[in-house]
Structure 1
Amino acid sequence: MRPRRICCIGAGYVGGPTMAVIADRCPDLTVTVVDLNAARVAAWNDPDLSRLPVYEPGLDAVVGRCRGRNLFFSTAVEQAIAAADMVFLSVNTPTKTRGLGAGQASDLKWVEASARTVAEAATGHTIVVEKSTLPVRTAEAIQAILGSGRPGQSFSVLSNPEFLAEGTAIRDLEEPDRVLIGGADPEAIEALAAIYARWVPQPRILRTNLWSSELSKLTANAFLAQRISSINSIAAFCEATGADVSEVARAIGADTRIGEKFLQAGPGFGGSCFQKDILNLVYLCRHYGLEEVAAYWEQVVRLNTWQQHRIARLVVTRLFGTVTGKRIGLLGFAFKADTNDTRESPAIRIARDLLEEGAQLQIVDPKVSEQQITRDLGLPPGEGEGSWQLASGVEAAASGADALVLVTEWDVFARIHWPAVVAVMRQPAWLFDARGRADETAARAAGLRVWRIGQG
């Protein structure tokens, strides 16, 4: 097997960047990314690379080199599948909102729909690659669907989970810690491994069975989220006792058995994967009768939610017990810096809590649009108690405000000219730095009262 044409179903945060890097590193392959969302496909094809639907540092340069050469974006799903030797499934797998497993299990309707489309449109032998984050043993369902295809078709199913961190996705793709390929067909596994081997050293390409590959993705996200909840629990303890969580993190991170990564206290984890994958792990553990294991991982999510509510309550408490009618500048809305992704962003829960208390939020984020904030908050911009509006910059967000709440760690928020900002705020004014990102000394010198995450 030596694939020449690749099709990826799903032009989102994973499919688009992953296929762009594959096309860039393998110019002899023809890579087509398909999606039923015509507006999204049009954005990927926009001549202005600054308008790509996914913001990721370095992505515009990669797309610019490949698009129209061997990288294509299209809504012609069946046509691209029929021409492909290898099809990646990179569709959304949100948490179910109703029915069996609601609130925990993954909704696999798009995976099933994609598999059925592949079964109808594929020709000859096709390698089908799970790229979406999926529950363990999802491949069985995909194999069953593909097995109902037409005579003359044959399929090999592989699991190739992504391990991308938004904001560094291009670097993660070009210099991955590991590439994981799970499957039962050695020839198909080596066909996919040969593609990655064009730029990834062989020792970093790991081969496993299907189930180990599917579970490895869930486990990796669960462990990373666990570290975030753990350090945030210690941050709250530091605030109560007079310790400094940054000093504690530095001390324990120096232990090579622990390491320094994911020990930055903050408002909690967000993004498309961590909460969804842990809840899915909880659901699966309960399905297999492992109640104690399920309860253990469920607590990681509960503590994450508690941390966000805690920050909102702290803002209200410090502002004399009420924020009704008060202006509060919210610095950041994306779930982390260097992305426009707001899925499960800590800013959403913090903002909703403050809106419920009657605050007037003035929100600024370098990459998140007013339309996206409207969707996330379920409330259009407006005036009056319990309202929000989009600000053009930090000074605009601070205008007339009693407080600023730093929620996303954008570099621009580390370079704020505090005297100019404080001059437009109502006194006494606060800075609530939930990321430990701002220049605390400069903010205090300019006249702000400062609360910093994990600082007693």
Structure 2
Amino acid sequence: MAVIADRCPDIEVHVVDLNSERIAAWNDPDLARLPIYEPGLDTIVARARGRNLNFSTDVDRCIEKADMVFLSVNTPTKQRGIGAGKASDLRWIEACARQVARNAKGHTIVVEKSTLPVRTAETIKTILNSTQERGKSFSVLSNPEFLAEGTAIKDLEYPDRVLIGGEEEHAIEELKSIYERWVEPAKILETNLWSSELSKLTANALLAQRVSSINSIAALCESTGANVREVAEAVGRDHRIGEKFLKSGPGFGGSCFQKDILNLVYLCRSFGLEEVATYWEQVIDLNTWQQRRISRLITEKLFNTLAGKKIAILGFAFKANTNDTRESPAIRIAKDLIEEGAILSIHDPKVKIDQIRAELGEKLKNDLGEWEFAGSIKDACNNADACILITEWKEYSTINWMEISESMRKPAWLFDTRCIVDSNLARKSGLNVWILGEG
């Protein structure tokens, strides 16, 4: 919405939410307090906010005035009932559709922006069309986002493609006319509603599949003496494969990949496609295996016991250039290490202590291990038995390991799950070094 407001100064954009604290944060004069950290977002918000980009809790009034409404609410995985653990929880989408049906005036174009199961648009249509108010009508479009956290602004300003799914040409043209202000018409794809919904799930599933695939090869590289970075470069030069998403690491995280694959698994099983469901389920299983493999390896290297040992965790966001911790590999690895009795000292340049607390619980010592928040890399590593690099923040690739090594308890280990450390310099500092995917 910020990018649309920035690129289309004549269009009034109102971002609404029931959470007054979050809206207050979006309106805060201090741009450093925006709820989401995304490179370049603060600049765009500063340029458009107060001009044609507005943040409000007055949801009903904004719906009433709107010609077009984007449904962008969370669609988490269901925790109970039919499809628990795999199907999407659509309660917020349904609630939004009902709120739009009540408050909209005249003709309103309703756009699915959230990632949704195939044929959710049918539910939205049914709810919207249930209104009996005269002069009120709706068109439903699907317009999934394909941006990546950390590069979201660039992905929106220079997209590979913009996908619009729908059945009513006039509604498609209205939305298309907005994107055409800055996107080449050839990059705007039109499909039916169901293809658009399924395309988002499929894109995330295929990307996650590549991550799990290269991580399986990384384990083989460690056993055979090969180097996964060299293997990835060699196969990535094949134009049929390409180099993207062939970087091995601690597994994929974020709000989309796992949720969308589980949704795909549930859909396949719903239609009796058991073999297809099992195939995609393996992508999730391998991702979990990779994180558990790292935890086990750390325990083995530290003499098969972590009780009372301090371990520095560098990075808690699921990847660099975002403060998003949802499904971060750091969560499972940290929980495994705490289970073994480790004392974790966690550092991340953008993740706040409250986010870590939400994922790991209170930092008070329990019968097992414990965790603490470190304000600096040096504090995290001081007197530590091991340092684990989990998020590929740029500042972690330039650490002075000679200085860090002197403050650690020997024999000390460095575990690099992102392959960004100069291993020769780290070894010269006196550290034992393990690099993911290196034999």
Q: TM exceeds 0.5? A: yes
Residue 289 (structure 1) aligned to one of 272, 277, 302: 272
Q: CA deviation at 1:438?
A: 1.5
Distance 1:393 1:200 in 2: 42
Could you say what the CA RMSD is over the residues aligned between the two structures, in angstroms? Answer: 0.9
Residue 10 (structure 2) aligned to one of 28, 31, 37: 28
Cross-structure match for 2:239:
256
CA deviation map 1:386-415 (0-9, x unaligned): 100001111111011000000000001001
The SS at the match of 1:389 is: strand
Cross-structure match for 1:134:
116
Cross-structure match for 2:409:
426
Cross-structure match for 1:214:
197
Amino acid of the structure 2 residue aligned with 1:225: A
Distance 1:338 1:40 in 2: 21
The SS at the match of 1:257 is: coil
The SS at the match of 1:53 is: coil
CA contact (8 A) 1:381 1:390 kept: no
The SS at the match of 1:54 is: coil
Distance 2:318 2:134 in 1: 47
Cross-structure match for 1:90:
72
- TM normalised by structure 2 equals 0.99
CA contact (8 A) 1:374 1:381 kept: no
Gaps of 5+ in 2: none
Residue 403 (structure 1) aligned to one of 372, 375, 386: 386
CA deviation map 1:187-226 (0-9, x unaligned): 1001000000000000000000000000000000000000
Q: CA deviation at 1:351?
A: 0.2
CA contact (8 A) 1:41 1:74 kept: yes
Gaps of 5+ in 1: 1-18
Cross-structure match for 2:329:
346
CA contact (8 A) 1:57 1:167 kept: yes
Q: How does 1:28-427 map to 2 (within 5 A)?
A: 28-149=10-131, 150-382=133-365, 385-427=368-410
Q: CA deviation at 1:385?
A: 4.9
Q: Please say which of residues 147-156 and 325-334 is displaced more in the overlay.
A: 147-156
The SS at the match of 1:412 is: helix
Distance 2:437 2:161 in 1: 33
Distance 1:384 1:61 in 2: 47
Distance 1:72 1:229 in 2: 40
- TM normalised by structure 1 equals 0.95
CA deviation map 1:25-61 (0-9, x unaligned): 0000000000001111010000000110000000000
CA deviation map 1:335-354 (0-9, x unaligned): 00000000000000000000
The SS at the match of 1:181 is: strand
Amino acid of the structure 1 residue aligned with 2:105: T
Distance 2:398 2:78 in 1: 41
The SS at the match of 1:95 is: coil
Cross-structure match for 2:425:
442
The SS at the match of 1:69 is: coil
Q: CA deviation at 1:381?
A: 4.9
The SS at the match of 1:401 is: coil
CA deviation map 1:247-306 (0-9, x unaligned): 100000000000000000000000000000000000000000111110000000000000
Amino acid of the structure 1 residue aligned with 2:91: K
Q: CA deviation at 1:152?
A: 1.6
CA contact (8 A) 1:327 1:360 kept: yes
CA contact (8 A) 2:75 2:93 kept: yes
Distance 1:21 1:368 in 2: 24
The SS at the match of 2:322 is: coil
Cross-structure match for 1:7:
none
Amino acid of the structure 1 residue aligned with 2:271: Y
Distance 1:303 1:273 in 2: 17
Distance 1:123 1:75 in 2: 19
Q: CA deviation at 1:151?
A: 2.2
The SS at the match of 1:180 is: strand
CA spacing shift, 1:271–1:122, aligned 2, 3 Å? same
The SS at the match of 2:317 is: coil
Cross-structure match for 1:4:
none
CA contact (8 A) 1:325 1:385 kept: no
Q: CA deviation at 1:384?
A: 8.3
Amino acid of the structure 2 residue aligned with 1:172: D
CA deviation map 1:422-445 (0-9, x unaligned): 111000100000111112121111
CA contact (8 A) 1:362 1:397 kept: yes
CA spacing shift, 1:72–1:186, aligned 2, 3 Å? same
CA deviation map 1:321-365 (0-9, x unaligned): 011100000000000000000000000000000000000000000
Identity %: 68
Distance 2:293 2:231 in 1: 21
Distance 1:381 1:423 in 2: 28
Amino acid of the structure 2 residue aligned with 1:210: L
Cross-structure match for 1:454:
437
CA spacing shift, 1:296–1:275, aligned 2, 3 Å? same
Distance 1:192 1:272 in 2: 26
Q: CA deviation at 1:313?
A: 0.6
Amino acid of the structure 1 residue aligned with 2:355: Q
Q: CA deviation at 1:378?
A: 2.2
Distance 1:277 1:347 in 2: 20
